[in-house]
């Protein structure tokens, strides 16, 4: 299959997902409380079989799910993505016992997962982790420190937590742990954020963990984190593309119907050219997202560069498209409850989380120079 086109079955599946999001998921999402986990919504995703596909599909399918859901219901898209982000390390690096204990509940939508990487002083600089895993006997540690900006915290049922187990600085000496929410010493608090989905802090006061809680190998946790992000970064781009397409379609409808200056808005060349630019950028971002996902599924060696490029272009594009859509709609788009008011709040965060745009540029440059062997002239 070409990386730049979808076959009829994939196109039909995307249409089905949009319909499910509008008819089944959006009504449940509307009943949720902003800033809190919407467990009925997560359960509905499970009943529809979408959460199970997180573990049986490739990167391209993940992107198609996220783009399609985002188009009609951003809350459902985010709930699905957070389940995947928190549970993917367990799926790939967990022991048989860990997978059997946690993944069925994640797939059914009865267990809520979270990915706990960021800290107050280590957001985009993930290698600067300060959460300490202090030895407490053979193959036992106690976690002490804080995590911040954690989606689904403090309401998740378990957390994939990254802590420093060795003296090495940077990416070395970091271990990934699966930490159930009921472990003694683990507390959390919600944060009041612009985005409507739950985000909070976690405090670790000597939280006990053992070798049975390790994901992967001790000291190799940074690999767990980066492999997870390489999968999910293109799909963050897919989320952004879904929002951009929703904003574009709303703008097409509005400018075709809105009377202004003796005609329709679309008849003004400056408006028509603006809409054309929005469509151009959205399609370019979509193609780059699909290409990055296809490269991941094919096991290509340049996945980190492609993933960073896809997330960067798509999230920056979505910000541009949604902002332009608001401008063309005028004041009505800023009214609470309007689609574009909602998208305007949703679209800002993806340029920061899972590596800010500046970090993506740094990743791209690093990968480019790593493959440059030509002698300077």
Residue 199 and residue 273 in contact, taking contact as beta carbons nearer than 8 Å: no
pLDDT of the residue at 161: 97
Pairing of β 113-116 and β 158-164: parallel
pLDDT of the residue at 5: 78
Q: Which CATH number fits domain 113-219: 3.20.20.140, 2.40.110.10, 1.10.3720.10, 3.90.700.10?
A: 2.40.110.10
- CATH architecture assigned to 8-108: Orthogonal Bundle (1.10)
Q: Is 9 exposed, middle or buried (0-12, 13-18, 19+ CB in 10 A)?
A: exposed
pLDDT higher than 80, residue 199? yes
pLDDT of the residue at 203: 98
22's tokens: 């509008």
Residue 165 and residue 174 in contact, taking contact as beta carbons nearer than 8 Å: yes
Residue 120 to residues 131, 202, 357, Cα–Cα distance (Å): 10, 11, 18
Q: Residues 258-305: pLDDT tens digits? A: 988 889 999 999 999 999 999 999 999 999 999 999 999 999 999 999
> HEC string of 178-225?
EEECCCCCEEEEECCCCCCCCEEEEEEEEEEEEHHHEECCCCEHHHHH
Please compute the mean of the pLDDT values over residues 120-134 and round it to a whole number: 82
pLDDT of the residue at 122: 77
Break the chain into its structural domains and give their ranges. Answer: 8-108, 113-219, 223-370
Please compute the mean of the pLDDT values over residues 134-143 and round it to a whole number: 93
Please compute the mean of the pLDDT values over residues 43-57 and round it to a whole number: 95
pLDDT of the residue at 172: 80
Q: Which residue has the higher pLDDT, 372 or 321?
A: 321
Banded pLDDT at 21 (limits 50, 70, 90): very high
- Domain 223-370 indexed as CATH 1.20.140.10: yes
Please compute the mean of the pLDDT values over residues 28-51 and round it to a whole number: 96
pLDDT of the residue at 124: 64
Please compute the mean of the pLDDT values over residues 197-209 and round it to a whole number: 96
Please compute the mean of the pLDDT values over residues 344-348 and round it to a whole number: 95
Residue 99 CB partners (closer than 8 Å, separation 6+):
90, 91
pLDDT of the residue at 1: 39
Please compute the mean of the pLDDT values over residues 181-206 and round it to a whole number: 94
pLDDT of the residue at 4: 66
Determine phi and psi for 214, rounding to 5 degrees: -70, 135
Say if 113-219 and 223-370 have the same CATH topology: no
pLDDT of the residue at 275: 98
pLDDT of the residue at 195: 79
Q: Residues 65-108: pLDDT tens digits? A: 999 999 999 999 999 999 999 999 999 999 999 999 999 999 99
pLDDT of the residue at 16: 96
Nearest to 218 by CA among 162, 176, 167: 176
Across the chain, mean pLDDT equals 93
Banded pLDDT at 121 (limits 50, 70, 90): confident
pLDDT higher than 80, residue 51? yes
pLDDT of the residue at 377: 59
In percent, the amount of the chain with pLDDT more than 70 equals 96
Q: Residues 347-356: pLDDT tens digits? A: 999 999 888 9
pLDDT of the residue at 157: 98
* Catalytic entry in 354, 367, 374, 375: 354
pLDDT of the residue at 229: 87
pLDDT of the residue at 6: 86
Q: Which residue has the higher pLDDT, 374 or 218?
A: 218
pLDDT of the residue at 173: 87
pLDDT higher than 50, residue 2? no
pLDDT of the residue at 338: 96
Q: Is 354 a catalytic residue?
A: yes
Please compute the mean of the pLDDT values over residues 241-255 and round it to a whole number: 98
């Amino acid at each position: 299959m070409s990386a730049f086109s979808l076959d009829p079955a994939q196109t039909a599946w995307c249409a089905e997902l949009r319909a499910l999001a509008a008819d089944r998921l959006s009504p449940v999402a509307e009943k949720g409380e902003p800033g809190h986990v919407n467990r009925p919504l997560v359960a509905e995703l499970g009943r529809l079989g979408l959460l199970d596909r997180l573990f049986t599909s490739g990167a391209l399918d993940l992107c198609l799910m996220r783009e399609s859901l985002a188009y009609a219901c951003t809350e459902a898209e985010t709930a699905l993505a957070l389940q995947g982000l928190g549970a993917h390390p367990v799926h790939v690096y967990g022991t048989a016992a860990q997978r059997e204990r946690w993944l069925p509940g994640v797939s059914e939508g009865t267990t809520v997962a979270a990915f706990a990487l960021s800290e107050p002083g280590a957001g985009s600089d993930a290698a600067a982790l300060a959460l300490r895993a202090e030895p407490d006997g053979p193959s036992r540690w106690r976690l002490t420190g804080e995590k911040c900006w954690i989606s689904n915290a403090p309401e998740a049922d378990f957390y994939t937590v990254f802590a420093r187990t060795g003296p090495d600085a940077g990416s070395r000496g970091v271990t990934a742990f699966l930490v159930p929410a009921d472990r003694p010493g683990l507390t959390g608090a919600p944060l009041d954020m612009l985005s409507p989905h739950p985000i909070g802090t976690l405090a670790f006061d000597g939280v006990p963990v053992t070798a049975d809680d390790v994901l992967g190998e001790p000291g190799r946790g940074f690999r767990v984190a980066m492999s997870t992000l390489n999968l999910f970064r293109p799909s963050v781009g897919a989320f952004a593309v879904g929002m951009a397409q929703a904003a574009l379609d709303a703008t097409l409808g509005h400018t075709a119907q809105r009377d202004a200056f003796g005609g329709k808005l679309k008849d003004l060349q400056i408006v028509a050219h603006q809409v054309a630019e929005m469509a151009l950028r959205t399609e370019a971002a979509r193609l780059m997202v699909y290409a990055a996902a296809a490269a991941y599924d094919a096991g290509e060696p340049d996945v980190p560069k492609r993933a960073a490029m896809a997330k960067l272009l798509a999230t920056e594009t979505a910000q541009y498209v949604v902002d332009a859509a608001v401008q063309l709609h005028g004041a009505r788009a800023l009214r609470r409850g309007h689609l574009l008011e909602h998208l305007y709040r949703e679209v800002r965060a993806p340029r920061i989380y899972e590596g800010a745009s500046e970090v993506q540029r740094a990743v791209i440059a690093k990968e480019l120079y790593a493959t440059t062997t030509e002698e300077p002239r």
